[in-house]
Amino acid sequence: MKKSIGSKALIYPSPVWCVGSYDKDGNPNVMTASWGGICCSKPPAVTISLRKATYTYNNIMETKAYTVSVPSKNYAREADFFGLTSEKKTNKFKKTGLTSAIANKVHAPYVDEFPMVIECKVIHTLEIGLHTQFIGEILDVKVNAAILGEGGLPEMLKVSPILYAAESRTYFGVDGFIGKAYSLGKAIK
Amino acid sequence: MKKSIGSKALIYPSPVWCVGSYDKDGNPNVMTASWGGICCSKPPAVTISLRKATYTYNNIMETKAYTVSVPSKNYAREADFFGLTSEKKTNKFKKTGLTSAIANKVHAPYVDEFPMVIECKVIHTLEIGLHTQFIGEILDVKVNAAILGEGGLPEMLKVSPILYAAESRTYFGVDGFIGKAYSLGKAIK
């Protein structure tokens, strides 16, 4: 018997991602977002939802492009900072000492120190309510060579992404390997 | 200097969620999906993307409702099984021995043994490409009392959700607490 805790934007896990964009003068900005996820395999695409009040919202409406950088656990402090303040008030790259790198498939910056980034071109925009959803086609995935493993793919435990628990507003990390997908369940089959 | 690994539907982390729906005869189905995420706070809403070929796609097109159950790590085998086979071929609840519970806000079933579930009413449908995106308003969050913690909210480490690494097709778990959001970054501010 489950207990109802009401209608909330709450499900586990949610990601902690840093969205990079340029303003109309070409100044780089980055903000932290947890409302998003992959939404299509072909074309590969990801969603990010933003409030209209954010600097990033206006940037993406202008440029139709963004990046999503994945902070590793050891950058939790910087990732949290990117969500705490607005570029309207603070130059976030300068303040954290992190580097704004230039994406080469889209007009957007990314966080060079973070281990993984995707470069996205906006293909759909949808007003849902408080948040607007941007669907971005993923034109490239870029990673630090140090986190690559078997098959030339990024290793989860080396990327060490951060998870967000909404409502309780807490961050968590990634634990050990559980098993292979499309394989574990064969025992039942 | 980052290395390009090409255009892929790949970013960490992605969730492992089990989508519950009824077919037109009221038979419960559940399938595993990793393409999704929260997309709005007001109304609270979540996206799930499915291929048209799935049984669940047709169910949701018919009922305009679904649930998302969050399997904990100890149900990784069942969650994987739910993604391995189609209801067209196997009664998945029967085969795994898990219980189909009846949601009370929408016409959809959920997995009773899993610690957390959201009940969703479809408010938008968007064709993206191989996948169709369903945006569901979250009408209720239900949890097992055993996983509730401070403030009457579900505890991440008790829910113990599963993460999916696409491409390498592997599952991972959640590690310890990193810190409080909207707080860690104040050291920089």
Task: Provide the pLDDT for residue B189.
Answer: 75
Q: Which residues of A touch B181 (CB under 8 A)?
A: 80, 83, 164, 169-171
Q: Which of residues 41-100 of A touch B (CB under 8 A)?
A: 41-47, 49, 68, 70, 73, 76-85, 90, 95-96
Can you give the pLDDT at residue A126?
Answer: 98
List CB contacts (< 8 A) between B49 and chain A: 38-40
* Dihedral sign for Cα atoms in the order B69, B28, B21, B145: negative
CA distance A186 to A34: 33
| Residues A120-123: contacts with CB under 8 Å, at least 24 apart | A120/A45, A120/A46, A120/A48, A120/A65, A120/A66, A120/A67, A120/A68, A121/A64, A121/A65, A122/A60, A122/A64, A122/A65, A122/A66, A123/A43, A123/A45, A123/B128
Quick check: A80 and B112 CB within 8 A?
A: no
DSSP state of B160: -
Residue of B nearest to A183 (CA): B80
Q: In the prediction, which pLDDT does A88 show?
A: 72
Q: Which of residues 109-128 of A touch B (CB under 8 A)?
A: 112, 116-118, 123-124, 126, 128
For residue range B150-161, list pLDDT tens digits in order. 999 999 999 999
Q: Does B173 touch chain A if contact means CB atoms closer than 8 Å?
A: yes
Nearest to B175 among A124, A138, A174 (CB): A174
CA distance A24 to chain B (A): 25
Model pLDDT for residues B3-61, shown as the tens digit of each residue: 999 999 999 999 999 999 999 999 999 999 999 999 999 999 999 999 999 999 999 99
Positions of chain A with pLDDT lower than 50, given as ranges: none
Residue B28, pLDDT score? 96
Report the pLDDT value the prediction gives residue A135, as an integer from 0 to 100: 98
Residues 5-44 of B with CB under 8 A from A: 5-15, 17, 34-44
Could you tell me what percent of chain A has a pLDDT over 90? Answer: 92
Confidence at residue B87, expressed as pLDDT on a 0 to 100 scale: 67
Of residues A18, A33, A16, the one with CA closest to residue A93 = A18
Enumerate domains of chain A plus CATH numbers. 14-187 (2.30.110.10)
Per-residue pLDDT reduced to its tens digit, A15-53: 999 999 999 999 999 999 999 999 999 999 999 999 999
Average pLDDT over residues B83-103: 89
On average, the pLDDT of chain B sits at: 96
* pLDDT in the model for residue A175: 87
Would you call A181 exposed, middle or buried from its count of C-beta atoms within 10 A (0-12, 13-18, 19+)? buried
Residue matched to tokens 């998870």: A163
Option in A84, A123, A176 nearest B173 (CB):
A176
